[in-house]
Structure 1
Amino acid sequence: MNIFTNITYRLTFVFIFFAHLAFSANIGIVESQSFHPLQVMDTKWETIVTTMGHTATILPQTSLDDIDNLAGYDVLVVTNGLIMMPVSRQEVIRDYVAQGGNVYIQAEYQVTEPGNEIFEYVVTQLGATFSWTGEANGSLTPMNVFGDLAEGNAPISAIDHYWYGAYGSGGDHIIPFLEYENKNYGFIFCSTNPAHGKVITTSDQDWIRLGYNPELVQNMVDYLTANSNITIPSIFVSVSDTEPCDGEPVTFTANVGSTPSSITYQWMVNNVAILGATDVSFTSVFNNGDLVNCQITFSESCASEQVLTPPLEILTIFPLGNPPVLTVSTASTTICSTESVTAFATVTNIAGVNNMTYQWMLNGQEILGATSAVFQINTMNDGDVLNCIMAYDAPCSNSNQVVATPITFTVNTSMTPLVTISSDFANICAGESIDFSANVAQISSTPTYQWMVDGVAVGTDAPLFTTSSLTDGQTVTCIVTSNDACATIPTATSNALVINVS
């Protein structure tokens, strides 16, 4: 039996538990009374299987004329080993078994009886080696029962009545279960093809017809109606890496619980069997979206069971791409000495990158506590170099940290402008021309000048001021405005000069 599932699992662990028990079966019983009214094997079988909870239908011999007549029957019981059966009907039984149907064929005490020939024909046609080799007369008791049919739901060690019988032998796929004086009188056919059904025969009908040891009949019915005679253990499929990198091998392992069965494995990718992938583990390089599962076959003496594990999907394969890019930026790298700096660490190309941490560096030294993507510092010196290192996790990266390109600061000293004025004369005559000059300090760029006479703006924007309009006692000053970005106070007023005019 194959067990399939359409459920798709992401990379994870999968547990599978199976229990195989006998089920309520539909059993077709080929009639026996057309041979003789006292040949009531058909009704005997009907009583037994219905008592066990199965559905029984007694079929005419003509039901074997076409295999379509057997559709819907889980088990076929050929109850009379004395009714002649043409080869065409034997072929129908063979084809029924080949399609997975299970059959009981009643043989008889003579090797040439129809039931014996039917069993031998069917099993040899399906690949087994078997022949009836002799006959034994009289009472063959106790007829020892052994193997699977002795250990069923109704354990039995011997049949108390077995009158006459044919014995035989077969190859590896013929399993005896009845023995008397080292000869075998009952057999199970176990095909080399797991799709085939099973066939059971015994070479005496009287023990069934007369009601001896019904527990063996029950065990045979259970054997033929069970989903499987193999108990499937737990199956645990594990995977070595749930987030493989592109090109990285991944190993799947089928962990199977304790079982007496022999086990074979066939790994599948996207429903295609992989040549040579027949070990308990399977290692390969996969593509994103591949579905991986394993067909596990359990085999015992006369049964095999196939289990197809649910597919595991490879969902996440990280590319072996470029590492993330870290960039450090500030509003400006030219600042004043009293100005604070806010720096930003920006990361790009972060697909698959996790757990990012930052460490800011100043002049190659770690800054204690500076471990965020945003960093602020109040004091910088001219020529200072600021940088950041980011550590990260990326499953498919060849590195785990990236260093930004450092930035170098130009720091200008913050200054307050100073201005003093002077004149070439302290005393002049009325209408006489006089020159004033302004001397500035702590200014790194060209300032603007505003000359003032008694608080009134005069002159031009120049460090020199010439006038012939002064009157006695007027006061001259100059206001200088610095355009230096780092000036703490942009304007300064000079000293005042009072000129005597006579």
Structure 2
Amino acid sequence: MKRLLSLCFIIMLGAGAKAQQYTNANATGANGNAYPFYFVSKIQCLYPAAKFSTAPSGNISTIYFRGSGTGTVTLSDLTIKLGTTTSSQYTSSTDAFITGLTTVYSATSASLSVVSDQWYAITLATPFPFTAGSNLVLEISETGNSGTQFLAYNTIETTTCKLISASVTATNGTTIGTGINHVRLLEFGFDIASAAGTPTISANNSPVCAGSTVSLTATSTATNPTYNWTGPNSFTATGATITIPNAAAANAGTYNVTVTSGGTTSASAAAIVVVNPTIPIQVSIASNPGTTICSGTSTVFTATPINGGTTPVYQWKKNGNNVGTNSANYTDNGLATNDIISCDMTSNATCPSPATTTSNALQMFVNASVVPAISVSNNSGTSVCEGIPVLFTAAPVNPGSAPVYQWKKNGNNVGSNTTTYTDNALTNNDAITCVLTNNDACASPANVTATTLTMTVNPLPAKPTITASGNTLTSSVANGNQWLLNSAAISGATNQTYTITTDGWYQVSVTDANGCSNKSDSTQFTTGVTSIARNGNLKVYPSPFKEKLFVELASNDNHQMIIADCLGHTVFQTTIHAKKTELDLSNLASGVYFLSTASGDSRATIRVVKL
């Protein structure tokens, strides 16, 4: 800010013409009593605070005067001083010069070109710190001059401040003018450069990540401030804003900035810059129960982050399209073969690199589901006879590559791992079923149970017996008879009685209304015996026989008996002592044999047939 006071000061530096500044109340040249500056050696003026009451605190960097003529003057040993004082006036026309002033400009030779009625500026070598409301003292001295005589406008003041002059070495001055109240003051002005206050760092984008740009901005209220920055690793820069591209750890630290304005430099303001290292981020995904699944299986995909921060953001993708929610888990029950699942994760950690990354991709393989089934049947139906073996058979559907069968009887495990089960000990209301386990991955369900077969078990009829009267055999049961000879059914023999015509083993089988049968014991019956007797004393029956053979002799004498086969090999021999002997020959093979007896000179041989 410039303040021009109502005092005319002759100036002594060739600073060049300047547009008219503030002046006193008199019009230019109103007072014809101009004063030639070079006529004296030292001039001192005291300006009370009231003369520039609006001037703020700051540095006086430039002073101004207005010339009354045109020309050039050269001044020797020019010195300009400024100072402040507690006195607002000189009290005598011969007061002593005020001392303790500060030299703000000096030159051994100063040439000044003046244009009449224009303001001229002198830039001070050393700005003078001024406090608002102070009484200001101006002193100008020189030891010699040459050139055109110049006058500086002055005014007659009615205040109690004045201009005094004397030699350079004088300690007391002489008032220019008449009396204390008739004072002449140089027209005088000055610029105030606001003191450079500590700047403010108004913008700091720290902390930053390595590789990004650091930006710092300082602001100041000073007039025309110049900013100077310093920082780590001998960093220097000027300007209100500095940027450091591609920041690294070496750029971290404290940055200071000062402001220079009006010849003064402020205290520094500091900003701390933090450069955080970048951290790599990753995310991987896995699926449960895996990547090979069955159609319709609910599959859970889980993302596992590395350096994801406290709240990472997840974006699941299916075949490149967004699916799911912002969660570490994604569930899908509609997958198809060759579906691709992946996940993008955005980390909120400090300085992630990159900020967003993509997981591994999972290719899905989906197998069709199969539905196993099983049914059970048997070879006799659900109504059977007691003690009869029943064969149960399982019929599976989609059994799998290695099915497991578990038969159950009344809920208890029976049988073996096969499609058939035989039971000859069934009782009434026994429940038979079979559980099929399919070991294929996509069997649904894996275990199926056949419909239970509830068995009706009918008791057997009472065991019949046979009585014989001559060649007539009679069954103990009136109805349902079937006669058998040598275990074979006799055609048409279904009555209660049967007359034998052939020797052999006879049985009768009885069948009741439920179709259940029971057989009598097998009994051997004969209609006669064929013998070859040497002396007629040997009798053998029945012939043919099945198991037992009866031998009758004429006496109780000891007889040696031998049975031989057709090759003459002895297959049985014994000694008999009774007239009638029963032989058990069930161990002989079927065929023709020859039975011989001998006692003394009595011998006999009989041909017999073993069934």
In proportion to residue count, which structure has more helix? 1
TM-score, normalised by the number of residues in structure 2: 0.42
TM-score, normalised by the number of residues in structure 1: 0.49
